[in-house]
């Protein structure tokens, strides 16, 4: 993430980062969930099930947990009639590898602020909130979002083979 040269801290809030899948022969699964807190567990299970035979299952489950929680707490997704969607895109396997990478995306209904991917420095270690995107940034190769508060956001994390098991 870029830093502010005068403070040395992470620059923020981050701007939307468009992302093209660096994956060929991509398989994509998507599922929409009702906007209720109990559905975050269903979303985690969905991602884990899809990636159970890959090295990304743990990281994908963590990413979905954090992003679904954010969608439910900070956007219209958690309100009456709200919903959120989870998409898992798995790149084609090449010889000797399970796959070329995976992109996990959570889409919300908008209405909240803009995702703060970099923040204004390290997260407050005493706070119970505000660390989810920073945690995702430590396990993901890339992290970004597209969209806006009016129409909703798609927040995504890309996991490459070389980053697997980095936690």
The answer to which of 44-48, 91-95, 133-137, 143-147 has the lowest mean pLDDT is 91-95
What is the rounded distance in angstroms from the CA atom of residue 135 to the CA atom of residue 62? Answer: 9
Give a yes or no: residue 5 inside a domain: no
Residue 97 domain flag: yes
Q: Is residue 12 part of a domain?
A: no
Tokens of 127: 């706070």
The overall average pLDDT reported for the chain is 79
Does the residue 127 lie in any domain? yes
- For residue 58, the domain's CATH number is 3.30.565.10
Q: What is the pLDDT of residue 96?
A: 59
Is 25 or 61 the better-scoring residue by pLDDT? 61
Q: Would you say residue 93 lies in a domain?
A: yes
The verdict on residue 21 lying in a domain is: no
Of 116, 115, 106, the residue nearest 67 (C-alpha):
106
Domain total in the chain? 1
Inside any domain, residue 123: yes
Is 83 within a domain?
yes
Structural domain range at position 94:
27-163
Comparing 160 with 68, the larger pLDDT belongs to: 68
pLDDT of residue 25: 64
Q: What share of the chain is helix, strand, coil (3-state, %, to 5)?
A: 25, 25, 50
Regarding predicted confidence, which is higher, 110 or 2? 110
- Strand segments (E) across the chain: 27-34, 83-90, 102-107, 142-148, 152-159
pLDDT value, residue 164: 43
pLDDT single digits (tens) 52-83: 988 999 999 999 999 999 999 999 999 999 99
Nearest-angstrom CA–CA distance, 75 and 92: 33
pLDDT at 2: 40
Mean predicted confidence (pLDDT) in 128-141:
81
Torsional sign, CA 101, 107, 110, 116: negative
Question: pLDDT band at residue 112, thresholds of 50, 70 and 90?
Answer: confident
């Amino acid at each position: 993430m870029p830093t502010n040269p005068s403070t040395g801290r992470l620059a923020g809030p981050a701007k939307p980062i468009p992302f093209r899948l660096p994956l060929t022969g991509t398989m994509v699964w998507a599922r929409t969930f009702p906007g209720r807190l109990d559905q975050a567990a269903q979303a985690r299970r969905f991602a884990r099930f899809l990636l159970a035979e890959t090295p990304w299952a743990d990281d994908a489950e963590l990413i979905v947990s954090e992003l679904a929680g954010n969608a439910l707490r900070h956007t219209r997704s958690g309100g009456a009639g709200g919903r959120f969607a989870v998409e898992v895109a798995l790149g084609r396997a090449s010889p000797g590898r399970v796959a070329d990478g995976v992109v996990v995306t959570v889409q919300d209904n908008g209405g909240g602020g803009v995702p703060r991917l970099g923040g204004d420095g390290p997260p407050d270690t005493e706070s119970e909130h505000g660390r989810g995107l920073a945690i995702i940034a430590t396990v993901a190769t890339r992290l970004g979002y597209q969209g806006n508060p009016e129409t909703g956001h798609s927040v995504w994390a890309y996991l490459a083979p070389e980053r697997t098991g980095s936690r």
